[in-house]
Amino acid sequence: MHGEYKVPGGKLVVVDLEVEDGALRHVRVAGDFFLEPDEAFDALSHALEGAPADTDAAGLAARIDAALPQGTVLYGLTSEGVGVAVRRALAHATDWTDYDWQLIHEAPQSPALLMALDEVLTEEVAAGRRPPTLRVWEWESPAVVIGSFQSLRNEVDPAGTERHGVQVVRRISGGGAMFCEPGNAITYSLSVPDSLVQGLSFADSYAYLDDWVLEALGDMGIKAWYQPLNDIATDAGKVAGAAQKRVVGGHGAVLHHVTMSYDIDAEKMVEVLRIGREKLSDKGTRSAKKRVDPLRRQTGLPREAVIERMLDSFRTRYGLSAGKVTDGEMARARELARTKFSSPEWTARVP
């Protein structure tokens, strides 16, 4: 069995092993990490030899920690990361490079249709009818997007949304509210087979699916990191938030979507989002700009250039070919946009 795991912000760890009589055998840990002293390298593999095959990642990490020589220094590697690689080997997890990734980046669409496409495309990946897909959104109009389990009245100020012409939609994933305007947000979705995140905990899957964009930002000179559970941050402040939805049926799939702040109208944000006021207390606009620091200021690049550099980074690492939403997928998405994502019953499912 073979498992790979790139430690968030670190290096790749690879584990090859067999299972005999319910225990790990012939374990070999490798990777492009660094560690000292040299004898610690063999200790990584020896610590896992004979471990029960149902040991979780934390239990495997504890075995490694106990076996490493005193004073061992791990760089780009964690004992927990080795444990995750083992769990991925046992789960027969796949890797990013095992797939032919498809890019969808189309003309601006309505907020309701953008929500519906997430559901349809991820269901198609689960069914095996669509390859893993990276979709970049283009917003036709401003919107507040609330999480699947959020209270509408607690999150949104209806007077503010009406005054600014902002539509309120509810997505299928959990998490918090987002304020998105055309030209100010960079939003993308990953619709991936469940096998890509096999062996990862729910929290670890966020870091794993966000790692490519951290590297893309790094290519643009921005030091960014994953901030549990679902944020991407820099020294200047938060730049993005992620959410996920697991789709059952077929082979299973995961929807992982992220909204990044390219620019921000902080005054408008606190007028349409109630939670924005609560989080910012009485500090007003200046605190909003501090809490969410736009990529425009950090990169100095046009929004289109930021997106293109992100896509180039993904393409270089994993491959990415141009694709499109099929006629059948679009028909289903338009119907869902009309009957579900534009309906008061769905939007106010939690009043």
CA-angle at 71, arms to 70 and 74, nearest 5°: 115
Q: What angle do CA 94, 260, 147 make, to 5 degrees?
A: 80
- Give me the pLDDT at residue 248, please: 87
> Which residues of the chain are modeled with pLDDT < 50?
281-290
DSSP letters along 275-291, please? HHHHHHTT-HHHHHHHH
Supply the pLDDT for residue 249. Answer: 85
Residue 6, token pair as written in the block: 């790139």
253: helix, coil or strand? strand
pLDDT confidence of residue 98: 95
- For position 126, what pLDDT does the model report? 97
Q: Cis peptide leading into 37, omega within 30 of 0?
A: yes
Report the alpha-carbon distance of residue 8 to residue 157 in Å, rounded.
37
Identify whether the C-beta of residue 44 lies closer than 8 Å to the C-beta of residue 32. Answer: no
Whole-angstrom Cα distance, residue 179 to residue 198? Answer: 32
What is the rounded average pLDDT for all residues in the chain?
93
Sign of CA dihedral 22, 28, 33, 39: positive
| Spans of all domains in the chain | 2-90, 96-347
Measured distance CA(324)–CA(313) in Å, rounded: 20
| Half-sphere exposure for 63 (CA within 13 Å, toward CB) | 21
- pLDDT score for 237: 85
Strands 133-136 and 185-193: antiparallel
**If you search the block for the tokens 């180039």, which residue do you land on?**
312
Single-letter residue type at 295: L
**CA–CA–CA angle 245, 184, 341 (5° rounding):** 40
Q: What are 251-292's pLDDT values in tens digits?
A: 899 999 999 999 989 899 999 999 755 555 443 444 444 456
- What is the C-alpha to C-alpha distance for residues 2 and 86, in angstroms, rounded to an integer? 8
For 7, residues 6+ apart whose C-beta sits below 8 A from its C-beta are 13, 33, 76, 77, 78, 81
At the top level of CATH, the class of 96-347 is alpha beta
Dihedral sign for Cα 203, 204, 208, 214, please.
positive
Instruction: Determine the pLDDT at residue 236.
Output: 85
What are 321-332's pLDDT values in tens digits? Answer: 999 999 999 999
Q: Which residue in 69, 64, 73 sits closest to 34, CA to CA?
A: 73
Domains 2-90 and 96-347 share a fold: no
Assigned CATH class of 2-90: alpha beta
pLDDT at 280: 52
pLDDT at 282: 43
Q: What percent of the chain has pLDDT over 90?
A: 88
Look up residue 339 and give its DSSP letter: I
DSSP string, 66-107: HHSPTT-EEES--HHHHHHHHHHHHTT---GGGS--EEEE-S
